[in-house]
Amino acid sequence: MTTLAVIGGGIAGRSLIYTLANQKNDFSTILWFESDSFAFSCTLHSTAVVAPRGVSTGLSVLGDQISSGFNTFSDHVKTFHPQGVKLITQWTLASEKIQSFKNRYPESREVTEIFGVKLNTPHELAQEDAYLIEPATYLEWLWANSHDEKINRIEDFVIEVIGSEIKTQKGKNFQADKIIFATGVNNYLWKDLFADSKLKHTKVVQGSYLEFDFDLNQKDFSVTLDGDNLIYHADNQKLLIGSTTSEVLHELAPLHELKEIYSRIGQKLNFKLPEFESGKVLVGRREKASKREAYILQSGSYYALGGFYKNGFSLALDQAQKLINQL
């Protein structure tokens, strides 16, 4: 009788539970701890676009990870058609550092408009397949499709792990033979359990963006203009503008940076944006590991999965499959 514990309710934890439920494993019991009581998941505060971003394989670990993750996620979507995930076109445009942009996107071309909206100056455009995700819907789909009677969902916050014992906020104790930490930015709280120093050098990176209720009368899209993002969810008429990136521990959004992004997009696209003040500011805190790479760590019976600074939804599924094959 072998018990596995998975700690974490965001995209990493859910991808693990989904994968455990849908491929053969030798565990007699799986304990899944998930709770937002003290630390909400960044997954629900993410612009949630998965795209290759012009990466080439064979040049870096991160590039290989992004490519592998995108392929794994593409196969997953084509096979299972998960709710909350749509295939879209990622439009990436540049008016600066054009040669560098062309090197990354050899098939780019110069344009003066996108999806019928005029650009105020010509830009170089690259197009690629991408996936637009509605996080809450997709997370629920993952759990709804994790059919395995061995999985016990425990809505409780883990506060301490000593040996094989897990202690929770509600004063309960559990025993597990193997424990996986998939808690995003909070993985560093467990750094002393791992001989590998990677967790000791991860950083917390805050990302913020604006969400507007706004009918654009357009299909879903994702546009990146010189690094600034404009994303539209047609079903619920949500327009997202952002995002910022700051290596800080707090969750206070830098409104001046969001206003600058909002202004730059408004200057480049020839259509009227909703008023800045009508936007809802959302903030998520991501884990940035060395070289922005995802990681799988092991120390005895402990495992850690994380580092999803880039393309978290696709990397989580891809790395979850790799980790489970190692257990």
- pLDDT confidence of residue 2: 94
Assess whether pLDDT exceeds 80 at residue 269. yes
Pick from 181, 271, 261: which is nearest to 227 by CA? 261
- pLDDT confidence of residue 39: 64
- pLDDT confidence of residue 209: 96
Find the helix or strand (DSSP H, E) in which 99 lies. Answer: helix 98-104
Percent of the chain exceeding pLDDT 90 equals 83
What is the arrangement of strands in the sheet containing 165-168, beginning at the earlier edge strand?
158-162, 165-168, 173-175
**Cβ atoms of 33 and 183 closer than 8 Å:** no
Say which amino acid occupies 321.
Q
pLDDT tens-digit readout, 152-171: 999 999 999 999 999 999 99
Find the helix or strand (DSSP H, E) in which 71 lies. Answer: helix 61-80
Burial class (CB in 10 A: 0-12, 13-18, 19+), 77: middle
pLDDT tens-digit readout, 210-264: 999 999 888 999 999 999 999 999 999 999 998 888 888 888 899 999 999 999 9
Q: What is the DSSP letter of 272?
A: P
pLDDT tens-digit readout, 75-119: 999 999 999 999 999 999 999 999 999 999 999 999 999 888 899
What is the model's pTM? 0.94
Angle in degrees, CA 54, 56, 60, rounded to 5: 120
Q: Which residue has the higher pLDDT, 280 or 40?
A: 280
Token duo for residue 92: 């990436």
Length of the chain: 327
Predicted confidence band at 38 (pLDDT cuts at 50, 70, 90)?
low
- Mean pLDDT within 296-306: 96
Average pLDDT of the chain to the nearest whole number: 93
**Cβ atoms of 73 and 50 closer than 8 Å:** yes
- pLDDT confidence of residue 116: 84
Token duo for residue 219: 């299909």
Burial class (CB in 10 A: 0-12, 13-18, 19+), 285: buried
Assess whether pLDDT exceeds 80 at residue 196. no
CA 20 to chain centre: 20
- pLDDT confidence of residue 217: 86
- pLDDT confidence of residue 170: 94
